[in-house]
Amino acid sequence: MAPAFYLVANLLPESAEYGQVVELLVAALESTAPELEADLRYQQVRGPVQAWLTLADGNVIGCKLGYERKPGHYYSWLGGVHPDFRGRGMAAELMCRQHAWCRAQNYRRIRTQTYNRWRAMLLLNLRHGFDIIGTLQGAHGLTIVLEKELLPAT
């Protein structure tokens, strides 16, 4: 069966998908569950977190999370695809769906950050129109900051 894609408008701890998203991100990002849950709780206080999900057989196998940075500007925050499902274009599809939604919501710019060690994500961002706008020292090394202007849908 082909994977299903859908949007959760506000990923909350009580949502059905929350636990699976945390598990997926632990596997994909090499983070701990308590660290990810603390980050999610902190961000939820600031505003809703949207989650684009890919499911196979009822299980979350890919996700792309984001939130509004400021009016007109969106932050593509966390994402990943389960290692068993990589190389099938799911990350690109999740990114495209997120960007289409952002255009529909009238966001003008989208920003993301990554580390050099996640080269597949860095290359995916570059292929999809992001520009490197700077670097900063992050908790896990040098962070690459990327930004993309969202053109209106044609």
Q: What is the pLDDT of residues 2-58, one digit of tens each?
A: 788 989 999 988 888 999 999 999 988 878 999 999 999 999 888 899 999 999 998
Cα distance between residue 56 and residue 64, in whole Å: 16
pLDDT score at 116: 87
What's the structural domain count of the chain?
A: 1
What percent of the chain has a predicted confidence (pLDDT) above 90?
71
pTM above 0.75, yes or no: yes
In a domain, 68, yes or no: yes
In a domain, 100, yes or no: yes
Domain membership of residue 101 as a residue range: 4-110
Q: Chain-centre distance of CA 128, in angstroms?
A: 14
Q: How does residue 60 score in pLDDT terms, banded at 50, 70 and 90?
A: very high
In a domain, 132, yes or no: no
Task: Judge whether residue 153 has pLDDT over 70.
Answer: no
pLDDT score at 154: 61
pLDDT score at 62: 95
- Indicate which CATH number applies to the domain containing 25: 3.40.630.30
Q: Which residue has the higher pLDDT, 146 or 58?
A: 146
